[in-house]
């Protein structure tokens, strides 16, 4: 194996869906891509080397706005880059890739002559996150209609406390708790007590999940805030 081809090989060759590896030189020219790209995006891996990776970008996608800036980033001395990219699969459909990039030199301390990239398809993860954030936003909007006194009651309802216990803690009458409970149901558009409790629990769960879920590593990408913006058609 010659020196030129060695620069194109990944350090780990066993890539499977939803991951694939590719290397590039001269800013955008793809020099190697792992066979798993076929399962991820549907392209023949043997037909990609020699093409510019810009050929596969989804036109008008906000996730690609910072590409010129990223192309100028110095990846020497172990520097890395993590960005989301909007691309087209072989059917022309938009997919979102989470791409980690490192620089490769021919000799230690030498100039970067290749960029090695590990890409993962995170389209479904991003969409799920968007759907849940939309749901959380709706629940938060409803909850913001509650007064401070109503929120005090709602917090104790979540704790499973009965009206009389809530009244004793807040030093109000049972009737006052009932009125505040009815107001909470109205704010949450809940027809029944069980529906009210369900919405309160869902709101708390979504608050936790959207910031701690294990499959949202893509949120650490430099442009992840743009993932919630629609791409131009």
| Percent of the chain whose pLDDT exceeds 70 | 88
Provide the 8-state DSSP code for 46. Answer: G
Tokens of 41: 């995006």
Is 60 exceeded by the pLDDT of residue 12?
Answer: no
Provide the 8-state DSSP code for 56. Answer: G
Is 70 exceeded by the pLDDT of residue 212?
Answer: no
Backbone angle region of 166, left / alpha / beta, with phi > 0 → left and psi within -120 to 50 → alpha: alpha
Whole-number Å distance between alpha carbons of 207 and 99: 27
Highest mean pLDDT among 43-47, 109-113, 212-216: 43-47
Is 70 exceeded by the pLDDT of residue 191?
Answer: yes
Q: CA angle, corner 85, sides to 81 and 86, nearest 5?
A: 180
Overall pTM surpassing 0.85 (yes/no): no
Residue-wise pLDDT tens digits, 64-107: 999 999 999 999 888 999 999 999 999 999 999 999 999 998 88
């Amino acid at each position: 194996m010659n020196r030129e081809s060695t620069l194109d090989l990944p350090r780990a060759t066993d890539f499977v869906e939803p991951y694939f590896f590719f290397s590039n030189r001269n800013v955008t020219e793809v020099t190697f891509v792992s066979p798993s790209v076929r399962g991820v995006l549907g392209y023949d891996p043997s037909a990609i080397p020699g093409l510019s990776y810009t050929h596969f970008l989804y036109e008008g996608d906000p996730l690609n706005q910072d590409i010129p800036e990223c192309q100028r980033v110095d990846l020497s001395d172990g520097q890395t880059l993590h960005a989301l990219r909007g691309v087209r699969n072989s059917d022309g459909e938009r997919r979102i890739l989470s791409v980690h990039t490192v620089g490769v030199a021919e000799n230690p301390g030498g100039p970067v002559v290749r960029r090695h990239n590990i890409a993962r398809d995170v389209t479904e993860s991003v969409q799920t996150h968007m759907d849940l954030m939309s749901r959380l936003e709706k629940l938060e909007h409803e909850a913001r209609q509650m007064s401070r006194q109503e929120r005090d009651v709602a917090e104790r309802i979540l704790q499973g406390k009965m009206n009389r216990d809530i009244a004793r803690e807040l030093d109000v009458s049972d009737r006052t708790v009932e009125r505040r409970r009815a107001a909470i149901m109205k704010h949450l558009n809940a027809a029944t007590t069980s529906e009210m409790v369900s919405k309160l629990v869902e709101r708390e769960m979504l608050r936790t999940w959207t910031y701690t879920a294990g499959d949202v590593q893509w949120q650490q990408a430099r442009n992840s805030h743009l993932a919630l913006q629609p791409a131009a058609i």
